[in-house]
Amino acid sequence: MTTHTTTPSSSQAPSSAELGVSAIPTLAEFEEAALMLRDVVVQTPFDESEHLSGVLGAPVHLKLENLQRTGSFKIRGATYRLSRLTAEERARGVVAASAGNHAQGVALAAQKLGIAATIFMPLGVPVPKLLATRGYGAEVILEGATVETPLRLAAEFAERTGAVLIPPFDHRDVIIGQGTLGLELWDAIPDLDTVVVGIGGGGLIAGVAAAVKARAAAEGRTVRIIGVQAENSAAYPSSLAAGEPLTVATTPTIADGIAVARPGDLPFEVISALVDEVVTVSDDDIARALLILLERAKQVVEPAGAVGVAAILAGKVQASGPTAVILSGGNIDPLLLQRVVAHGLAASGRYMTLQIPLPDRPGQLARVSELLSIAGANVTEVLHTRHGQGMQISEVILQLSVETRGEEHRAHVISVLEEAGFQPRVVLD
């Protein structure tokens, strides 16, 4: 487990002046933003999860921001930022770059405020996110294999046309807008003890931490804020240890919505001061979390939105009282969802693919099927082939996809086959 721990907060959150941090918004600013957003943003519901409460040993309240307009919290920061533009800035229009949630948030916010919006997106953007962004009235320009190209093009477009560039996290107005979610946590959960938030660039957790700790300070209480990153793209642990934002090498992760190689400058200042701990989770952890959310909470959540749940399931969160976990978005491509569910089943010991070499004579397939039936495994797919590298002329390979009930049952299925003289090899688990 990778963690970063700050000095525990006193009963009163330190002021910006005491910290020397101008980036920390005030409670009054969050409350003003909440009033401005009330006709645009939905106050999304909460769901207390008995399953996760049992895992954590404390009440767990899921904040269902996956049910927010545009499918994520991003509409909060985008709308508040655009609302603060002058008439002259609005007339010039806005521009943004994004592979998904930020694009939709800016597009809808611009539509509601009557501002022309241009959004640059990479060529491989999931079709649902592309269609939604266009559906909110934005002009979408597809360019580049990764989001780096749209980011560069959006900045060039702003310089060339005068359009106002709307950053996804590194702006004070964006942080304040996202932080209105923290006010909702405080108002809805009595005796709030811990808040668990995913981190990409850091705008959401910076706003939530500042808002929640300001409310707690007003009542002489403390609340712990825990951030969660995908371990394949975790810039905050090393940056916090170094005391400054660092750019880290990233590898692909299913949580692409929080795959940010460098912390935002303003969020980093707030997080350094107010966030108590940062942990990381693996893609397997995230896949398990998505499966639990589907099965137990009946919630469709994108991988980046499920990292808080993943951290609880992986034993990386400790809490002694009511805990809020933000499900920050639900914009998952159905094709990715299909793959992630299969991966989550495998990671939970409930699905595996076996390859079994067999002598090429009648009755072998029937024998294996009988043994799997005795072991209580459900076969979902069968491939029987005489072709493959390393095979003997008198040998065939049987490949089976099998549903099991968990790690113990999976081990039992393999044991039954081995005791019968077969040599199963797990090729997907």
Q: Where are the domains of the chain?
A: 16-72+171-344, 74-165, 349-428
pLDDT recorded at residue 385 = 76
Neighbouring residues of 248: CB distance < 8 A, sequence distance ≥ 6: 233, 234, 235, 238, 239, 261, 262
Active-site residue among 63, 74, 112, 316? 74
328 flagged as catalytic: yes
349-428 has the same fold as 74-165: no
pLDDT recorded at residue 132 = 93
Considering only the top CATH level, what class is 74-165? alpha beta
What CA–CA distance (Å, rounded) separates 427 from 402?
Answer: 12
pLDDT recorded at residue 383 = 87
Neighbouring residues of 312: CB distance < 8 A, sequence distance ≥ 6: 52, 55, 56, 60, 196, 325
Q: What is the pTM of this model?
A: 0.84
Alpha helices in 141-202 (DSSP H): 148-161, 172-188
Active-site residue among 49, 83, 239, 328? 328
pLDDT recorded at residue 22 = 61
CATH T-level topology, domain 349-428: Alpha-Beta Plaits (3.30.70)
Dump the DSSP string for 12-47: SPPPHHHHT-TT---HHHHHHHHHHHTTTS----EE
CB 387 within 8 A of CB 360: no
pLDDT in tens, the chain (429 residues): 445 444 333 333 444 444 444 669 999 999 999 999 999 999 999 999 999 999 999 999 999 999 999 999 999 999 999 999 999 999 999 999 998 899 999 999 999 999 999 999 999 888 888 999 999 999 999 998 878 899 899 999 999 999 999 999 999 999 999 999 999 999 999 999 999 999 999 999 999 999 999 999 999 999 999 999 999 999 999 999 999 999 999 888 999 889 999 999 999 999 999 999 999 999 999 999 999 999 999 999 999 999 999 999 999 999 999 999 999 999 998 888 888 888 778 877 888 889 999 888 888 888 999 999 999 999 988 888 766 555 566 688 899 989 998 889 999 999 999 999 999 998 865
pLDDT recorded at residue 339 = 84
CA 77, 179, 1: angle at the middle one, nearest 5?
Answer: 110
16 flagged as catalytic: no
CATH T-level topology, domain 16-72+171-344: Rossmann fold (3.40.50)
Return the SS3 of 211.
helix
- Interhelix angle 172-188/265-274, rounded to 10 degrees, is 40
pLDDT recorded at residue 388 = 56
Would you state the structure tokens that stand for residue 380, as one six-digit string?
A: 């979902």
CA–chain centroid gap for 17, Å, is: 33
pLDDT recorded at residue 221 = 95
H/E stretch holding 212: helix 203-218
- The half-sphere exposure of 219 on its side-chain side, counting CA atoms within 13 A, is 13
Burial class (CB in 10 A: 0-12, 13-18, 19+), 203: buried
Neighbouring residues of 149: CB distance < 8 A, sequence distance ≥ 6: 120, 122, 143
